[in-house]
Amino acid sequence: MRSFISNQNPDPAQPLGTRPPLHPLEAALLAVTGLHLCFLPWALGTMHLWSQLTSLGFSFVGFFLALLPRREASGWSSPSPAARSATARLHRQPVFWAGLVVLGYIAAQGLNPAWHYESDADSWWLEPVVHVAWLPAGIDVPFPLSGPGRSLVIFGSLWLLLCSVTVGFLRRHSYRVLFTLLAGNALGLALLGLLQVATGTTRIFWVYLPSNSAFSSSFIYPNHAGAYLNLMVALATGLALWSYRRARHGLEKISLAALYTLVAAGAGLMVIFSCSRGSIIMLLAFTLFSTVAHALRLMRRRSAAGSTRPEILPLVLTFAAFLGTVLVSFNTDKVWNRFAEMLANPVAAAQDRRVAREAATEMLADRWVLGWGAGGFRHAFPLYAQKHPAIYLAGGEGRKLWEHAHNDLIEFPLELGLVGLLPVLFVIGHGVWQGLRRRGRRNAVTVLLLLGCGLLLLHAGVDFVLQNPAVLLTAGVLFVAQARWAELDELKPTTPPGEARRDSPAASS
């Protein structure tokens, strides 16, 4: 692996144990990226065109800052030649090439439409058009509607954001500041949601009347809110454990671990009050898996190095407090009724999504290689839904409009096909491998972020949580960041308090 920036202390006159300041360009990139990611959930989950275009603008600015050459600055040593060449670093990143292929594939689908969207005052329909059959094809849809153009905006923003974070953040401190900003932002979202529940308002921010009356916090759909906050629970829990280990060795104050624990508890509580059954189940699964994994780790450490009582006590107290909160929360009528319906008749509760999944699977089977075109599900789905009349009336809630398959693990392959999905699968596999290699398996932040992202994928198998740009972009950043965090994290728990340490800005290709 090639080092981009020297591990040497940047200023010979500076004490060895002090942290060198961030390079001005990295600090600027951190500010833009933090503002961008904090903006996404507050902008109603970034579900509207204006917020998606704003997100794309943030991504362009961040990408520009990440590619600027980093010359010598005050208080910062002259970067190595490899560190100056951000373009060279970018060309070695799998996420750059994979994203470029996916965006090119979506553009090819848009330029080779197999169907044309037509509409009148009362209805809309698709007209087949002549196209090149062996090339990726899509649906010719006006830009404001879901289609290749809208998908390029969302996935283009995601690609630029991931590239800028991967290439532009050369210091672990940058990731920690970004993670802390996201955690603080999540606490604000949780407080907003709890206040809205307490006041019984029917409007987001007490002003905006959403299309869905069962909104949660700043998200129009409670499932999106639950999925986003579950990611924040994973992030805050990882940071709490990481900070606690540092505090035990005198590297920082225990209050930081307590603050991260407060964020995890607040976000988890709001997940429960979102009444999203899938999100609550994933939260309970995360709590169980992470608690058991940490307990097993402490047992191994105890057998190898003696008592671990100082670490067991906060683990037991935290789990007991969370379990108590869950039990109290389930006593509320709104939360309990959601699960009572499912437990009383699980077949009827999932009937509409089961029928929709069957129709979507038929749709996928017909074009599984090249796909139907990015953003084209809602336009082509009626061709298959008409074979299942019950799909629009299932559940007894009146006629339903199916804009998504409520199963992202079917909808994304359905739209992109196997060819368009292969680069995404490669990036996911590479990211997991990078995160778990070396010391990543022993890093709480890396392991819990991977667990959070994995549970998000499971949730996506029963809902359309990844169709929300706030969830998609945040999950993407956390996924690529977990590998970089493990790579840059040079925490050594055996370092005695007071020993000089070096917060190295080294980064690897």
What b/e sequence results for 159-176 when a residue is b if at least 16 CB atoms lie within 10 Å of its CB, and e otherwise? bbbbbbbbbbbbbbbbbb
State the pLDDT at residue 437.
79
Separation of alpha carbons 430 and 94, rounded Å: 8
Q: In what order do the strands lie in the sheet with 113-119?
A: 124-128, 113-119, 138-140
What is the tens place of the pLDDT at every residue in 233-254? 999 999 998 888 888 778 888 8
Q: What is the rounded end-to-end Cα distance, in angstroms, of the chain?
A: 6
Kindly state the tokens that stand for 426: 């490669």
In angstroms, how far is CA 457 from the centroid of its own chain?
10
- What residues are paired with 508 via a beta bridge? 3
Residue 234 in contact with residue 451, Cβ under 8 Å?
Answer: yes
**pLDDT at position 358, please?**
87
pLDDT of residue 60: 97
Query: Could you read off the pLDDT of 72-108 as tens digits, one per residue?
Result: 655 554 455 545 578 888 999 999 999 999 999 999 9
pLDDT of residue 494: 38
Asked if 463 and 423 count as a contact pair (C-beta separation under 8 A), the reply is no
- The CA-based angle 448-452-458, given to 5 degrees, is 140
Q: Provide the mean pLDDT of the chain.
A: 82
Q: How far is CA 136 from CA 133, 153, 294, in A?
A: 8, 19, 47
Q: How far apart are CA 337 and CA 268, in angstroms?
A: 19
pLDDT reported for residue 444: 87
> Which residues is 125 bridged to in the sheet?
118
Q: Which has the closest alpha carbon to 478: 68, 69, 253, 161?
A: 161
What pLDDT sits at residue 265?
A: 87
Dig out the tokens for 67 from the structure: 């590619």
Residues of the chain with pLDDT under 50: 1-17, 77-78, 82, 307-308, 347-348, 396, 398, 491-509
Token representation of residue 449: 């972020």
Token pair for 210: 């959403």
Model confidence pTM above 0.85: yes
CA distances from residue 129 to 116, 138, 294 in whole angstroms, order as listed: 7, 11, 57
- What's residue 292's pLDDT? 78
| pLDDT at res. 328 | 57
The residue ranges of DSSP E strands in 250-364, in sequence order, are none
Q: Where do the structural domains in the chain lie, given as residue ranges? A: 24-92+169-344+437-488
